C-alpha cells in the first residue's frame, strides 16, 4: 500500500512537472479557449433570439444567410454563399375540434409539406390504427375517414439512452402515413406527435407524398390530444373531427449554403468540413435543431482564427440550408463540389442537440479509428466526449459525402431530452445549458483541429 502511494506520488509529480513545462498543444489551446469564450453563445443567441425561426424560403432563413455570412466576414474569415433553390412551404391556419364531443379543441400542427384541407375544413370520423399492418387489414374501411396513427415513442428506449432509435421507429408514420392512408381513400392523416415529453405542444416534421396517390392533409396532434382520441375510441365512442389546415406550397425560393474556410498551410486542397444546418422549423427558434450546431461550427473557425493557428489542411465550415424539408443544401453542396468530394479528409456534422457531449458517431473503423482515438482521446476525455460509435450515417446534410466514402463524424450529445423539444414550439434557447454547449464546442473544435492538422490521412471503413 505504502509503496503504491509512493509510486503514484512519483508519477503524479512527473505528470505535474510535464504539464508545467510542456506548452499546451494547439488542440488544448483551442479547447481551453472554447470553454472560456462566450463567442458561440453570442452567435447562438443572435441567431435564435434576434432572427428567430428559419424555415427554408422564409425571411428568417434569408436573414440567417446574410447575418452568418457577415459574421464570418467580420472575423476576417473567407466566406461565400453558394446558391441553392429550396422548397417554400408556408404554414397557415390550423385548428381542429371534436364535433362528437362538445366541439372540444384538438391541438395539432400541420406536417411540413402537407396540402391544405378545403377552406371550410373536413368533418369526418376518426379511425385509429397502431401500425401499417392494421391499416392494410382495414383497407377500404378507412374510406372517407381520418386515419390516426397511434405511434408512441418507446420510452424505455428513450430512458436507456436510445432516443434516436425510438424516434426512427415512431417517425415512419409521419413520413409515409398520409399516402399509405390515401391509398385506401382516407381524407386526412393524423399522427401522435413524435415526442418524449409534452405539455400539449405539437411536434411537426417533414412528410412526403407518393406521387401516384391522392394528396391528403397531414397533421400531428399533441400527445395529450392523441391520448384523448385514443381513450374515447377505446371506450367504443364515435369520434368525429372537424379539421382545418391551410398551408401553402409556394414556388421554390432562392437560398444558399454559407461556406467559410481557413485555408490549409500544407495541404490546402484537402478539406475537413465542419457543418450544421441553418434552417429550422417554423414553430420555434430552432435552438437545439440546429442553431446550436451552426453556432458551434462557426465558432470552431473563429477560435482557430482568434488564436492565430494554421492547420495543415483546409477547414471549411458549411452552414447547410433546408435540412428539414428537402435536403437541398446537402445535396446541392455535394453536386457543386463533386470534383473535390474525394479530397474531403473528413466531414463533421453537428445536428443532435446541445446537451452535454458524449462523443461522436462515425463511419471510420478498424485501425484508422484506433489510431485517431489514440490521438484525440486525451483531449476529448477532458469534456467526457471521447466515445466513438459506429454509424453508417453521421448527419443528413453530409450523407452524400458519407455515401461517397468520406470519413464522417457526428457530435453526440446526451439524447435523453432531445425529443422533448425537437420540432416543437419549445425548441428555444432556454433549453440549452451554456456549460454543456461550451463543452460541445470544445469537443468539436478538438476533433476538427486534430484531423485537419494531422500528418496522417484518415480513411472511412
Angle between helices 59-74 and 292-306 (to 10 degrees): 10
Which of 245, 284, 295, 406 touches its own copies by CB under 8 A?
A: 284
Phi and psi torsions of 110, nearest 5°? -65, 145
Q: Does 53 bind its own copies (CB under 8 A)?
A: yes
Q: Which residues contact 45 (CB under 8 A, 6 or more apart)?
A: 429
Q: What is the dihedral of CA 444, 395, 324, 171, to 10 degrees?
A: -120
Give yes or no: 389 in active site.
no
Q: Does 435 bind its own copies (CB under 8 A)?
A: no
The number of residues making up the chain comes to 461
Angle between helices 434-453 and 366-380 (to 10 degrees): 130
Which of 3, 102, 140, 455 touches its own copies by CB under 8 A?
A: 102
Choose among 230, 245, 247, 244: nearest CA to 123.
244
Q: Which residue has the cell 453563445?
A: 41
Q: Does 49 bind its own copies (CB under 8 A)?
A: yes
Q: Does 126 bind its own copies (CB under 8 A)?
A: no
Which of 150, 179, 198, 362 touches its own copies by CB under 8 A?
A: 198
Sign for the CA dihedral angle at 396, 91, 212, 242 comes to positive
Q: Which residue has the cell 489514440?
A: 374
Site string for its own copies, 386-425 (x = CB under 8 A): ----------------------------------xx--xx
Q: Does 288 bind its own copies (CB under 8 A)?
A: no
Could you give the 3-state DSSP secondary structure of residue 428? coil
Choice among 94, 261, 323, 324 that is catalytic: 323
* Closer of 290 and 420 to its own copies (Cβ): 420
Tell me how far, at minimum, the Cβ of 396 lies from its own copies, in Å.
25
* Closer of 86 and 107 to its own copies (Cβ): 107
Contact between 385 and 341 (Cβ < 8 Å):
no
* Closer of 349 and 420 to its own copies (Cβ): 420
Q: Does 298 bind its own copies (CB under 8 A)?
A: no
Q: Which residue has the cell 472575423?
A: 75
Which of 141, 200, 238, 461 touches its own copies by CB under 8 A?
A: 200
Q: Does 199 bind its own copies (CB under 8 A)?
A: yes
Residue 446 has what DSSP assignment?
H
Q: Which residue has the cell 504539464?
A: 19
* Closer of 93 and 254 to its own copies (Cβ): 93
Tell me how far, at minimum, the Cβ of 103 lies from its own copies, in Å.
8
Q: Which residues contact 354 (CB under 8 A, 6 or more apart)?
A: 287, 288, 292, 293, 296, 413, 432, 436, 437, 440
Q: Does 60 bind its own copies (CB under 8 A)?
A: yes
Tell me how far, at minimum, the Cβ of 302 lies from its own copies, in Å.
20
* Closer of 243 and 443 to its own copies (Cβ): 243
Q: Which residues contact 236 (CB under 8 A, 6 or more apart)?
A: none
Contact between 315 and 446 (Cβ < 8 Å):
no
Footprint on this chain of its own copies (rule: CB under 8 A): 45, 49-53, 59-60, 63, 101-104, 107, 197-201, 223-224, 227-228, 231-232, 237, 284-285, 420-421, 424-426, 428-430
Which residue numbers are catalytic? 323
Amino acid at each position: 500500500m505504502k509503496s503504491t502511494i509512493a509510486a503514484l506520488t512519483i508519477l503524479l509529480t512527473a505528470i505535474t512537472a510535464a504539464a508545467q513545462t510542456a506548452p499546451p498543444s494547439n488542440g488544448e489551446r483551442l479547447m481551453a479557449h472554447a470553454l472560456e469564450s462566450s463567442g458561440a453563445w453570442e452567435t447562438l443567441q443572435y441567431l435564435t433570439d434576434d432572427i428567430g425561426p428559419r424555415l427554408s424560403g422564409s425571411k428568417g432563413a434569408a436573414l440567417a444567410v446574410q447575418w452568418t455570412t457577415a459574421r464570418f466576414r467580420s472575423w476576417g474569415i473567407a466566406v461565400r454563399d453558394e446558391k441553392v433553390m429550396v422548397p417554400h412551404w408556408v404554414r397557415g391556419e390550423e385548428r381542429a375540434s371534436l364535433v362528437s364531443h362538445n366541439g372540444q379543441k384538438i391541438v395539432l400542427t400541420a406536417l411540413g409539406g402537407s396540402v391544405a384541407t378545403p377552406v371550410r375544413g373536413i368533418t369526418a370520423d376518426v379511425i385509429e390504427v397502431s401500425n401499417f399492418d392494421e391499416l392494410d387489414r382495414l383497407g377500404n374501411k378507412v374510406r372517407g375517414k381520418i386515419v390516426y396513427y397511434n405511434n408512441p415513442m418507446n420510452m424505455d428506449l428513450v430512458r436507456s439512452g436510445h432516443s434516436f432509435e425510438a424516434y426512427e421507429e415512431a417517425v415512419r408514420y409521419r413520413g409515409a402515413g398520409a399516402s399509405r392512408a390515401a391509398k385506401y381513400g382516407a381524407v386526412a392523416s393524423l399522427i401522435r406527435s413524435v415526442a418524449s415529453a409534452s405539455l400539449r405542444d405539437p411536434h411537426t416534421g417533414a412528410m412526403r407524398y407518393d406521387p401516384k396517390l391522392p394528396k391528403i392533409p397531414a397533421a400531428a396532434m399533441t400527445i395529450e390530444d392523441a391520448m384523448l382520441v385514443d381513450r374515447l375510441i377505446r371506450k367504443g365512442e364515435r369520434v368525429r373531427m372537424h379539421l382545418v389546415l391551410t398551408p401553402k406550397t409556394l414556388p421554390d425560393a432562392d437560398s444558399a449554403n454559407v461556406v467559410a474556410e481557413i485555408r490549409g498551410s500544407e495541404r490546402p486542397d484537402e478539406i475537413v468540413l465542419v457543418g450544421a444546418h441553418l434552417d429550422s422549423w417554423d414553430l420555434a427558434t430552432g435552438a437545439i435543431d440546429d442553431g446550436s450546431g451552426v453556432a458551434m461550427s462557426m465558432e470552431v473557425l473563429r477560435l482557430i482564427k482568434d488564436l492565430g493557428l494554421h492547420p495543415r489542411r483546409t477547414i471549411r465550415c458549411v452552414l447547410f440550408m433546408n435540412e428539414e424539408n428537402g435536403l437541398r443544401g446537402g445535396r446541392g453542396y455535394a453536386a457543386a463540389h463533386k470534383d473535390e468530394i474525394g479530397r474531403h479528409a473528413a466531414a463533421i456534422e453537428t445536428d443532435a442537440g446541445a446537451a452535454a457531449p458524449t462523443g461522436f458517431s462515425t463511419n471510420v473503423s478498424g485501425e484508422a479509428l484506433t489510431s485517431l482515438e489514440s490521438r484525440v482521446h486525451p483531449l476529448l476525455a477532458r469534456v467526457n466526449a471521447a466515445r466513438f460509435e459506429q454509424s453508417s450515417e453521421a448527419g443528413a446534410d453530409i450523407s452524400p459525402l458519407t455515401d461517397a466514402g468520406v470519413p464522417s463524424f457526428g457530435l453526440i450529445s446526451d439524447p435523453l431530452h432531445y425529443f422533448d423539444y425537437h420540432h416543437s414550439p419549445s425548441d428555444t434557447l432556454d433549453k440549452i445549458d451554456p456549460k454543456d454547449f461550451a463543452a460541445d464546442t470544445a469537443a468539436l473544435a478538438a476533433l476538427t483541429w486534430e484531423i485537419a492538422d494531422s500528418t496522417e490521412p484518415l480513411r472511412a471503413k
